Amino acid sequence: MYPTNYKYSQEHEWVALEGQTATIGITDYAQHSLGDVVFVELPKAGAKFSAGQTIGTVESVKAVSEIYSPVSIEVTEVNAALANAPEKINQDPHGAAWLVKGRATNPGEMAKLMDAKAYEAFVAEKEKEAGA
Amino acid sequence: MAQTKSAAARHVSIGERLLFEKSAPGKRGMELPPLDVPAVDAARALGAEYARDGVEGFPEVSEIEVIRHFTRLSTWNYAIDLGMYPLGSCTMKYNPRVNEFVARLEGLATEHPLQPVELSQGCLRILRALELFLLELTGMDAITLQPCAGAQGEYAGIAMIRAYLASRGNPRKRVLVPDSAHGTNPATAVTAGYEVCNIRSDSTGRIDIAHLAESVDENVAALMVTNPNTLGIFERDIARAAELLHARGALLYMDGANMNALAGVARPGDFGVDVMHMNLHKTFSTPHGGGGPGAGPVAVKKHLEPFLPAPVLVEKPDGTLGWDRNRPHSIGRLRAFYGNFGVLVRALAYALAYGPGMVEATCDAVLNANYIRKKLEDVYELPYEQPCMHEVVFSDARQKKHGVNTMDIAKRLIDYGFHPYTTAFPLIVPGALMIEPTESESREELDRFVEAMRAIAAEAAENPEMVKSAPHSARIGRLDEVGAARKPVLRWSPQ
């Protein structure tokens, strides 16, 4: 379910690092709890964020949620296709529906995030709490 | 059960098109008499750029068609006057007819806001009486009736906190908001220029006081808290929370959306609140829904009084009432006139008609919610099992096993003749069913609601498709809410 080459945050974002380039998205668990996504708001290329800052919002029929950057990043590209097809987030959250790409300005932060196995356990715990 | 279903099925037989679709060239609602003065060429009189030959697409219909159109639409509405409206967090209580009688009195209904103050003393006296009543009820020191909605009240409250802190040298950076909060709270804080920081709820559904304690520092301006919170649970550590904030120079903002659980029983001013707003259209029975008109008075403690929105209603030495506009520290004016006057009149009428009976109304609101809780707890999952205040929150965890979620149950409730409860909120309860009966409902009506909810729970297990495809007896079946949000059609256009 969760790609093993990604790292995961407690706020349910994933990040993939290739060289210096980080790609960020939201996890399958996140899209599932949000329900049908109807709108995505993303930053502009060139924007800089430190880890934990809000880089955008995802709106579903149920709620509006902020997206927190799991790592410090200077954004070079945003996924413009999501503006007209927000449903991609529900269909392919770990692939085609990536949100932003950019230069990881502090790659050391990757070590603080969960790997796929730890994230799966984290999500299982959440689901148990919710009684689902 | 058959009875409630047939009630919901009324009017299904009549279709209704838009006025635009009924239009036919040359039809009109009235015939004007022939001109008895020479005709004037509008283009010449006004200038060609201000005159046009007609309005494209304007519907042309007869008077009776217009009357039937709107009368039919009005009969499709669901209203508190038709039945129970258990929309949690919205306090959809009965609007007593005495409110309407008083608001329509000649001398009130016909007053104009630009009338001189000397000729408006009666109206000002009404506003003052309402102010004093709300201050007594909340235990606060000063108040403004100016904000015209809860959200505007919230904004005024946080703007005052900002102005107060700035006057002491530092407006600070952050506002704390519990994870069970109404969505307007973080939106207000951001609009007022603050960062928002979430505070966790503990296992009882209350603010995690330890998390609050470690989150409060010199950068925190305020905590925004709804009490009772959106789970319908009283924040019993509210006084402790106020102490923690005040010790670090931060303030406590209370969202008074749930004041219907406290009115006449507990006063926010006594448990440490510095600023709060109230929704008169919730707690004080003024008309509700359709987007207003609302009323969101904001009450403050003494130290925030200089920052109230201008003007402020004051008593003059000669005993008359007037407006104090000389408020150098005020956050400014929020709108052209002081509140929605007609709504404020209704709220005072409610207060005076109930008098001390308001305590009983508050207790009945809490009793009704707990009655529903006990009557449904064996069929719907209760994520927080303790007694609730004025509303109760279940989850759809048991029905989910059959593929039925809270939205499906809400839609099926329409078939039983009830307005749906609030779905999927608060967010900390996955698949929430948020039910607020208010004090207005009799035990008989509550029993009918309980019976409907139990019937739906049974259907969810035995015939889940029936629930998932509901409503079946409404004029229109399940709407495509996702499609409407993704590709909204905001304007009619001819095909």
DSSP B87: B
Inter-chain touch A38–B482, beta carbons under 8 Å:
yes
Element (H, E) at B247: helix B238-247
**Alpha helix locations (H) across A14-107?**
28-34, 88-91
Which residue of chain A comes nearest to B196, CA vs CA?
A54
Q: Which of A36, A63, A131 sits opposite B397 (nearest CB)?
A: A131
Q: What ipTM does the predicted assembly reach?
A: 0.71
Rounded distance between C-alpha atoms, residue B389 and residue B356, angstroms: 20
In a domain? residue A115: yes
B379 CA: distance to closest CA in chain A (Å): 15
Inter-chain touch B397–A130, beta carbons under 8 Å:
yes
Q: Which of B427, B430, B485 sits opposite A38 (nearest CB)?
A: B485
- Reported as a pLDDT band with limits 50, 70 and 90, residue B487 is confident
- In chain B, CATH 3.90.1150.10 covers 363-485
Rounded mean pLDDT, B314-325: 96
Rounded distance between C-alpha atoms, residue B140 and residue B280, angstroms: 16
With beta carbons under 8 A apart, name residues in chain A contacting B427.
62-63
Rounded distance between C-alpha atoms, residue B267 and residue B118, angstroms: 35
Q: How many CB pairs under 8 A join A and B?
A: 31
Q: Which of B383, B400, B481 sits opposite A61 (nearest CB)?
A: B481
Rounded distance between C-alpha atoms, residue B52 and residue B43, angstroms: 8
In a domain? residue A2: no
Inter-chain touch A131–B383, beta carbons under 8 Å:
yes
Give whole-number Cα distances, B398 to A128, B117, B425, B432, in Å.
Answer: 14, 61, 17, 12
With beta carbons under 8 A apart, name residues in chain B contacting A35.
424
Inter-chain touch A63–B486, beta carbons under 8 Å:
no
Q: How far is CA B375 from the centre of its chain?
A: 27
Cis amide linkage into residue A43, ω under 30° from 0: no
Is the model more confident about B15 or about A82?
Answer: A82
Inter-chain touch B427–A87, beta carbons under 8 Å:
no
Is the model more confident about B13 or about B461?
Answer: B461
pLDDT digits (tens, 9 = 90+) for B228-262: 999 999 999 999 999 999 999 999 999 999 999 99
The domain made up of B363-485 is a member of CATH 3.40.50.300: no
Is the pLDDT at B474 greater than 80, yes or no? yes
- In chain B, CATH 3.40.640.10 covers 100-355
Q: Which of B424, B430, B482 sits opposite A130 (nearest CB)?
A: B430
A84 CA: distance to closest CA in chain B (Å): 8
With beta carbons under 8 A apart, name residues in chain B contacting A91.
none
Is the pLDDT at A10 greater than 50, yes or no? yes
Percentages of chain B per state (helix, strand, coil), in multiples of 5: 40, 10, 50
φ/ψ of residue B220, rounded to 5:
-90, 125
In a domain? residue A64: yes
B427 CA: distance to closest CA in chain A (Å): 8
Inter-chain touch B481–A64, beta carbons under 8 Å:
no
In a domain? residue A3: no
Q: Is A125 on the interface with B (CB under 8 A)?
A: no
Inter-chain touch A130–B485, beta carbons under 8 Å:
no
Give whole-number Cα distances, B84 to B3, B93, B357, B394, B436, in Å.
Answer: 15, 9, 22, 18, 10
Range of the domain at A89: 10-127
Choose the weakest-confidence range: B70-79, B98-107, B197-206, B213-222.
Answer: B70-79
Residues in chain A, overall count: 132
Task: Quote the pLDDT of residue B151.
Answer: 93
What percentage of chain B carries pLDDT values higher than 70? 96
Q: Is A128 on the interface with B (CB under 8 A)?
A: no
Is the model more confident about B288 or about A112?
Answer: A112
Is the pLDDT at B405 greater than 90, yes or no? yes
Is the pLDDT at B292 greater than 70, yes or no? no
φ/ψ of residue B135, rounded to 5:
-65, -40
| DSSP strand pairing (A100-104 vs A21-26) | antiparallel
CATH of range B100-355; options 3.40.50.300, 3.40.50.920, 3.40.190.150, 3.40.640.10: 3.40.640.10
- Reported as a pLDDT band with limits 50, 70 and 90, residue B295 is very high
pLDDT digits (tens, 9 = 90+) for B424-436: 889 899 899 999 9
Rounded mean pLDDT, B359-366: 98
- Reported as a pLDDT band with limits 50, 70 and 90, residue B290 is low
For chain A, how many structural domains are there in total? 1
Of B93, B151, B155, B126, the C-alpha closest to B342 is: B126
| Dihedral sign computed on CA atoms, order B253, B255, B261, B267 | positive
With beta carbons under 8 A apart, name residues in chain B contacting A131.
381, 383, 395, 397
What percentage of chain B carries pLDDT values higher than 90? 82
pLDDT digits (tens, 9 = 90+) for A13-63: 999 999 999 999 999 999 998 889 999 999 999 999 999 999 999 999 888
Q: Which of A33, A62, A86 sits opposite B486 (nearest CB)?
A: A86
Task: Please list, in sequence order, all residues whose beta carbon lies within 8 angstroms of the beta carbon of residue A108, skipping any fewer than 6 positions away.
Answer: none
Rounded distance between C-alpha atoms, residue A92 and residue B293, angstroms: 43
Choose the weakest-confidence range: B42-51, B300-309, B464-473.
Answer: B42-51
Task: Quote the pLDDT of residue B289.
Answer: 63
B318 CA: distance to closest CA in chain A (Å): 53
Residue B349 three-state SS: helix
Task: Quote the pLDDT of residue B17.
Answer: 85
Is the pLDDT at B3 greater than 50, yes or no? no
Inter-chain touch A36–B482, beta carbons under 8 Å:
yes
Rounded distance between C-alpha atoms, residue B481 and residue B40, angstroms: 51
Rounded mean pLDDT, B7-28: 73
Task: Quote the pLDDT of residue B7.
Answer: 46
Task: Quote the pLDDT of residue A130.
Answer: 64
- Reported as a pLDDT band with limits 50, 70 and 90, residue A106 is very high
Q: What is the mean pLDDT of chain A?
A: 93
B482 CA: distance to closest CA in chain A (Å): 6
Rounded distance between C-alpha atoms, residue B276 and residue B161, angstroms: 11
Domain CATH number, residue A113: 2.40.50.100
Asked if B386 and B233 touch (Cβ cutoff 8 Å), the reply is yes
Inter-chain touch B485–A39, beta carbons under 8 Å:
yes
Is the model more confident about A57 or about B54?
Answer: A57
Task: Quote the pLDDT of residue B14.
Answer: 60
Q: What is the mean pLDDT of chain B?
A: 93
With beta carbons under 8 A apart, name residues in chain A contacting B424.
35, 62-63
- Reported as a pLDDT band with limits 50, 70 and 90, residue B12 is very low
In a domain? residue A31: yes
